[in-house]
Amino acid sequence: MLDVLKPHYPNAFDFSITLADLDEDHRVKLTVVEVDKKTETVILVIEGRDIHYDAIIEAIKEMGATVHSIDEVEVEGTNSTV
Amino acid sequence: MLDVLKPHYPNAFDFSITLADLDEDHRVKLTVVEVDKKTETVILVIEGRDIHYDAIIEAIKEMGATVHSIDEVEVEGTNSTV
Amino acid sequence: MLDVLKPHYPNAFDFSITLADLDEDHRVKLTVVEVDKKTETVILVIEGRDIHYDAIIEAIKEMGATVHSIDEVEVEGTNSTV
Amino acid sequence: MLDVLKPHYPNAFDFSITLADLDEDHRVKLTVVEVDKKTETVILVIEGRDIHYDAIIEAIKEMGATVHSIDEVEVEGTNSTV
Amino acid sequence: MLDVLKPHYPNAFDFSITLADLDEDHRVKLTVVEVDKKTETVILVIEGRDIHYDAIIEAIKEMGATVHSIDEVEVEGTNSTV
Amino acid sequence: MLDVLKPHYPNAFDFSITLADLDEDHRVKLTVVEVDKKTETVILVIEGRDIHYDAIIEAIKEMGATVHSIDEVEVEGTNSTV
Amino acid sequence: MLDVLKPHYPNAFDFSITLADLDEDHRVKLTVVEVDKKTETVILVIEGRDIHYDAIIEAIKEMGATVHSIDEVEVEGTNSTV
C-alpha cells in the first residue's frame, strides 16, 4: 500500500493501467483520497508474483507522481503486495 | 467508481441499463447519494473485461450527465472496475 | 432499492407477495423504516432476471402506494436489482 | 420480522416451539428486546416455504400476544420470511 | 440465550461441562458478563437436537444458580438453541 | 478465554508454546492487553479436544502467572475452548 | 504480532522480504503505524510452520530495528504466528 501524490493527468484509470501492465500478473487498486487543484493523493495497492519495487517506483515517477510513503507490505513466498 | 452528476431523466434504472449495454459483460451498480431539484449525484461502479473508459464517459455525457471525479480504479489482467 | 410510501393495507406481507408474483423469479425484500398514522415508508429491493421497471411501478401504484425515489440499481447481463 | 407484545407465559421457549410446529419446515427465531412487569416485547423472525401469515397471527393471538407491526418481509419463490 | 446468576463454584468451566453432558449433542457457550463478590452473571447459549428446557433449568438450579431471563430462542425442526 | 497476569519472562511466545505443548491438539492464542513494569495482562484462548482445565492452571502457575478470571467457555462434545 | 521501531532504511518492502526469506514458508505482513523523522513504528505479523523466534529477533536487530513488544501469539501444532 503506497501513499502517492499524482498530477490529474494521466487520470486514475490510465495511471492504474500503466502500473498493471508492468508485469503480466499485477493487480492494481487505486483509491483517490484527496483532490487538490493540481494534484490528487491516491492510495495504491499492487499485488503480484515477484514484484519489482524499483520498477514500480520508476514508473510512478515517469508519470510525474511521487511516493510519499509505504504504508503496508505483505510477502508470502514469491507473492507480494505493496 | 465514478462520482457523477445526472439529470432526473433518464432515471437511475434506464441510466444503468444503457451503461450495462455498452458491452456484453458490463456489470453496473448505481447508488444515488444526493437528490436536488433538477439533478442527482450518483456513484457508479462499472466492472468488466476490457473496459473502454472513453466510451463510458461518452455515453454518460450523451445522457446529459457529467463525471465529477474518478474515485477508485481496480485493474487485474484484462478485467477492470472503474 | 426503492423508497416507497404505502398505506397500511395491503399489509407488508401481502404487498411483497404481490410484487414477487409479477414474474417467476422475482425476489422481494421489504423493510419498514417509518410508520405514520395512515401510511408507512418502506424500502423495497426487487431482484430478478429481466426486471420490467414499469410493470413494478404500475403494481405499486395499484396498491395505493407511490415511489419516492430509486436509491440503488444493479445490472449484470439480464439480471437486475432495483 | 414481527414486533410482538407477549405475556410472560407461555415463556419464550414454549412460544417459539408452538410457532415452529405450525408447519413442518418453519424456522423461528425469537429475541426478547424489553421486559416489563406483565409483558415482554419480542422480535420474531419466521422463515419457511409457503408461510401462512394469517395462521401465524392466529397462533400468536391464542397465546395472548399481539403483533405490533411487521418490520421486514422477504419473498423468494415459495419461500418467505416474515 | 439465558441470562443466569451463578455462584463462583462450580467454576465456569465445570458449570459448562455439566450442562453439555445433559445430552449427547449439546453445545454450550458461556460468557461471563459481570463478576461480583459471591456471584457472577453469565450468558449461556445451549444448542442441540431436541433440547429439554426443564431439564436444563433443573441442572442450573442444582448448581446453585438461577435463570434471570430467556433472551433468545431459535427453533428449526428438531434443533433448538436457547 | 482466561484473563491472566504474567511476569515478562517467559515471554509471550515461550509462554504460548508451553501451553500448546500440554497436549497434542491444543491451539493457543495469546493477546497482550496491558503492559506494566514487571507484569503484563494477557487474554488466553485455549482450544482442544478433551481439555484438562486443572493441568492448564497448573502450567500457568509454574510459569509465575495467575488466572484472574475465566471469561468464556465453549463445550461441544469432547472439544472445548477455555 | 510484534511492535517494532525501525529506521527508514532498509525500507518497509526490503525489511519484509528479508524476514520472509528467513524460512521457506514464512508469511510476513508489515503495517506502518507511525512515521517520525528518523524512524518508523511498524506492526509485524509473521506466520509459518516452526517459527524460530530468536532468529527473527536477530534479523530485526541486524537491520537496526528493535522489538518494543509482542502483542499477540498464536500457536497451533507446528504452525505459529507471532
Yes or no: say if D21 and E79 are a contact pair by the CB < 8 Å rule: no
B43, three cell numbers? 456513484
Judge: A13–B71 Cβ closer than 8 Å, yes or no. no
Flag whether pLDDT at B79 surpasses 90.
no
Higher per-residue confidence, B8 vs G51: B8
Residue of C nearest to D74 (CA): C29
Residue B68 has phi, psi (to 5 degrees) of -75, -45
G22 touches chain F (CB under 8 A): no
Residue F24: what pLDDT? 78
Query: Strand, coil or helix: what is F21?
Result: coil
Quote the CA–CA distance of A76 and G26 in Å, as a whole number.
Answer: 7
DSSP notation for chain F = -EEEEEESSS-HHHHHHHHHTTSTT-EEEEEEEEE-SSEEEEEEEEEEES--HHHHHHHHHHTT-EEEEE-EEEEETTEEE-
Over residues B9-52, the pLDDT tens digits come to: 999 999 999 999 998 788 999 999 999 999 999 999 999 988 88
Residue B2: what pLDDT? 97
| pLDDT mean over A40-57 | 93
Smallest CA–CA separation between F20 and chain G, in Å? 7
Low-confidence ranges of chain D (pLDDT < 50): none
Query: Strand, coil or helix: what is A17?
Result: helix
Residue F79: what pLDDT? 85
G46, three cell numbers? 509473521
Quote the CA–CA distance of D34 and C1 in Å, as a whole number.
Answer: 31
| pLDDT mean over A46-58 | 91
Judge: E13–F82 Cβ closer than 8 Å, yes or no. yes
Judge: C27–D69 Cβ closer than 8 Å, yes or no. no
The kind and range of the H/E element at E1 are: none
Within a 10 A sphere around the Cβ of A66, how many other Cβ atoms? 12
Smallest CA–CA separation between F46 and chain G, in Å? 10
3-state secondary structure C44-80: EEEEEECCCHHHHHHHHHHCCCEEEEECEEEEECCEE
Average of per-residue pLDDT values in chain B: 93
Straight-line distance from the first to the last Cα atom of chain G, in angstroms, rounded to the nearest whole number: 5
Residue A49: what pLDDT? 86
B31 touches chain C (CB under 8 A): yes
Residue C9: what pLDDT? 94
- Our measurement of the distance from residue D55's CA atom to the centroid of its chain's CA atoms, rounded to an integer in Å, reads 11
Judge: C70–B20 Cβ closer than 8 Å, yes or no. no
Residue D49: what pLDDT? 86
B50, three cell numbers? 476490457
| pLDDT mean over C7-29 | 93
Neighbours of chain E (3+ CB pairs under 8 A): D, F
Residue E75: what pLDDT? 94
**Looking up cell 409457503, which residue turns up?**
D50
Over residues E58-77, the pLDDT tens digits come to: 999 999 999 999 999 999 87
Reported as a pLDDT band with limits 50, 70 and 90, residue G23 is: confident
Quote the CA–CA distance of B60 and B51 in Å, as a whole number.
Answer: 14
3-state secondary structure E40-65: EEEEEEEEEECCCHHHHHHHHHHCCC
Residue of F nearest to G79 (CA): F27
Cβ contacts of A76 on chain G, cutoff 8 Å = 20, 27-28
| pLDDT mean over F59-72 | 96
The pTM of the full predicted model, rounded to 2 decimals, is 0.85
Within a 10 A sphere around the Cβ of G79, how many other Cβ atoms? 14
Residue E73: what pLDDT? 96
Judge: F11–G72 Cβ closer than 8 Å, yes or no. no
Flag whether pLDDT at G45 surpasses 90.
yes
B61 touches chain C (CB under 8 A): no
Over residues E17-68, the pLDDT tens digits come to: 999 999 878 899 999 999 999 999 999 999 998 888 999 999 999 999 999 9
The residue of D16, D26, D42 whose CB has the most chain E CBs within 10 angstroms, and thus the best one to mutate to test that interface, is D16
Average of per-residue pLDDT values in chain A: 93
Residue A78: what pLDDT? 77
Residue G79: what pLDDT? 85
Flag whether pLDDT at C77 surpasses 90.
no
Residue D51: what pLDDT? 87
Flag whether pLDDT at E16 surpasses 80.
yes
Cβ contacts of E15 on chain F, cutoff 8 Å = 73
Cβ contacts of C19 on chain D, cutoff 8 Å = 75
Q: At what angle do helices F12-20 and F53-62 cross, to 10 degrees?
A: 150
